[in-house]
Amino acid sequence: MEVNGYRIEPGANLVGANLFCVNPKGANLTGTDLRGANLENANLTGANLTGANLTGANLTGANLTGENLTGVTLSSANLTGAYVKLANLTGENLTGENLTGANLRGATIPHGSIHD
């Protein structure tokens, strides 16, 4: 799949990519490096993000509903207003992420990983 001139495939280097409003429904993003990528308003439901690196990524308003995010690196990611409901965040430490207005209803979150 190609979006905004970027090839979206497993293990791709998409550091800093502008993937605003991307809809990679069912895409395999296993091990993809998305550090600092702009995924604002992206619809990532059904995408395989196993082992993806989303450090510092902009996920403002992104739809991650029902995603298995185990093993995904979200350090310092911006999840403002993101839909993360019913997602599995087991093993993820969410202390550095911006979760302002994020919908986490029904998400599996490790105890003690979110601090006020």
What global pTM score does this model have?
0.84
pLDDT at 86: 82
Q: For 30-88, how does the pLDDT look when each residue is reduced to its tens digit (9 = 90+)?
A: 999 999 999 999 999 888 888 899 999 999 999 988 888 878 888 899 999 999 888 88
- The full set of domain ranges for the chain reads 1-108
pLDDT at 67: 84
pLDDT at 115: 46
Residue 12's H or E segment, with its range, is none
Compute the distance between CA of residue 45 and CA of residue 87 in angstroms, rounded to an integer: 10
Q: Quick one: average pLDDT of 8-16?
A: 91
Pick the CATH number of 1-108 from 1.10.10.10, 3.90.1150.10, 3.40.47.10, 2.160.20.80: 2.160.20.80
pLDDT at 114: 55
- In contact, 21 and 41? CB cutoff 8 Å: yes
Compute the distance between CA of residue 53 and CA of residue 36 in angstroms, rounded to an integer: 9
On the 0-12 / 13-18 / 19+ scale of CB atoms within 10 A, 99 is middle
Q: Quick one: average pLDDT of 80-103?
A: 81
pLDDT above 50 for 14: yes
